[in-house]
Amino acid sequence: MAARHGSDWGYCEVSLSDSSGTIRALKQQDLLYSVSDIDGQGWHCRVVGIICQALSRTEDGLLAVLEALAHPELAIVTLTITEKGYCHSPATGQLQPDHPTILHDAAHPLQPQSAPAVLLAGLRLRRQRGLPAFTVLSCDNMPANGEITRRVLMQLAALQEDAEMVDWVAQHVACPSSMVDCIVPMVSDVSRSQIRAVLGGVDDPAGVTSEPFRQWVIEDHFPQGRPAWERVGVQLVADVSPFEEMKLRMLNGSHSFLAYLGYLAGYSHISDCMQDAALAQLVQHLMLQEQAVTLVNCPQPAEDYAARLLQRFRNPALQHRTWQIAMDGSQKLPQRLLDPIRIHLARGSRFDCLALGLAAWMYYVSGVDEQGRAIEVRDPLAAEISMLLQSRGPALSPVQALLQLEQVFATDLPRNEHFVALLSQYFHQLQQFGAKACAAQLCARLGYAVAVD
């Protein structure tokens, strides 16, 4: 695409850990990697050559990363670090000052560990050298992700007792918000083998697989310039929030709903969940009757958007694992499920699917599935969740114990009697009947007739 449109922009790929070995692989294959779009018609592969440099803090060192951030020609830093990478509280959008990594970064600004601290160190170096600030573009699934990024940077600078840096970030660092929509499953041994076949027997450890659908919406605020992304279909807008809310609630919220219920029901992939008539009916109900109705300004007809989502979820070739989507739920649920629940509580309207999905998360993080098998729970709050459940005592239910996670539920929801009662009801039903039966029962209560095995 860049060559076709005559772009002179290049990218420096940076990983703070390279735990997947992507940076090492890129260096070994001349900074080239493949992207494979997969659907029912097959695999469509292309090789991407837009990367000019690849750095890993682990192998190349922190100094090399900071020097890359201080390069005079650098204009934009994009972030795909997941919600937990911002070291903030999803319930409040504020930096967590007691986060272990932030405690280190506050005391040692010249040896940063977290992504926000590395960014701040790079910006500080640019300021010292008289260079303009780069734009920070968050591409992670958070509402107002640009605003959160700016807030986290400024709050970290304040913790480092650098008032001048706080002011400089406020005055000079642009943090536009964005919404990126493309389902990208975790690469597996099976998909690696398929990539090898498509590339004619060549291995590509840095290869990426995704669905063919893409949507990227960005607030157009780039003081140091940007590539002509609009030439390849990117929507440049003044306000990205309607697109963010639509995606976070209708797509991501539905994904979480299917991930937790589907995993408990024994389904490995989202497409497997969509073969369950009750789950398929409930996720459509969730999208249109519980999520779309909470949107202040839906940028496209909700029925059309939901229909496209359901089609994408059914893609059997994508193999998007429920376990992958279930990761880091404590960081995802506030914007995906809890914000719309608050709207329903204020309106006095029903939110059965939202409550069932949240109850399924609580069951999932208990660490044992319906067959008594251990669940590998990956979550930044996993230790705290485990402690709350193990030390709760007989007087406290698992629901009441988990509602003590203020960084997830804040303080308002645990005090709402209707919310707690409905959540407890669905949690007990999951314990008693299992996920498949609960989904079928809810379908019946909502007036849907579905055939269940």
The CATH number of whichever domain residue 39 belongs to comes to 3.40.50.720
> Mean pLDDT in the chain?
95
Model confidence at 2, pLDDT cuts 50, 70, 90, reads low
Q: What pLDDT is recorded for position 99?
A: 96
User: CA 144, CA 396: separation in Å to the nearest integer?
Assistant: 36
Mean pLDDT of 237-247: 96
pLDDT in tens, 254-287: 999 999 999 999 999 999 999 999 999 999 999 9
- Non-local (6+) Cβ contacts of 397 within 8 A are 424, 427
Both 59 and 101 in one domain: the answer is yes
Distance of CA 370 to the CA centre of its chain: 26
Region 379-406: what's the mean pLDDT?
Answer: 95
Q: Which residues, at least 6 apart from 325, have a Cβ–Cβ distance to it below 8 Å? A: 255, 256, 258, 259, 270
Q: Does 261 share its domain with 356?
A: yes
- When pLDDT is cut at 50, 70 and 90, the band that residue 126 belongs to is very high
Q: Please give the share of the chain, as a percent, with pLDDT higher than 70.
A: 98
pLDDT of 3 higher than 80: no
On whether residue 78 sits in a domain, the answer given is yes
Q: Please list, residue by residue across 2-39, b when 16 or more beta carbons sit within 10 angstroms of its beta carbon and e when fewer do.
A: beeeeeeeebbbbbbebeeebbbbbbebebebbbbbbe
Q: Are residues 188 and 252 in the same domain?
A: no
Task: Say yes or no: 329 and 429 in one domain.
Answer: yes
Domain match, 153 and 51 both: yes
Task: Name the band, by pLDDT with cuts 50, 70 and 90, for residue 16.
Answer: very high
Are 151 and 276 in the same domain? no
Does the reported pTM lie above 0.85? yes
Residue 398's domain comprises 241-445
Work out the percent of the chain whose per-residue pLDDT is above 90. Answer: 92
The pLDDT, as a whole number, for residue 18 is 81
Q: Are residues 151 and 290 in the same domain?
A: no
pLDDT at 186 over 70: yes
Mean pLDDT within 374-401: 95
User: Distance between CA atoms of 384 and 285, rounded to whole angstroms?
Assistant: 33
Q: Which residues contact 383 (CB under 8 A, 6 or more apart)?
A: none
Q: Given a cut of 80, is residue 140 above it in pLDDT?
A: yes
Total of domains in the chain: 2
pLDDT for 20 beyond 90: no
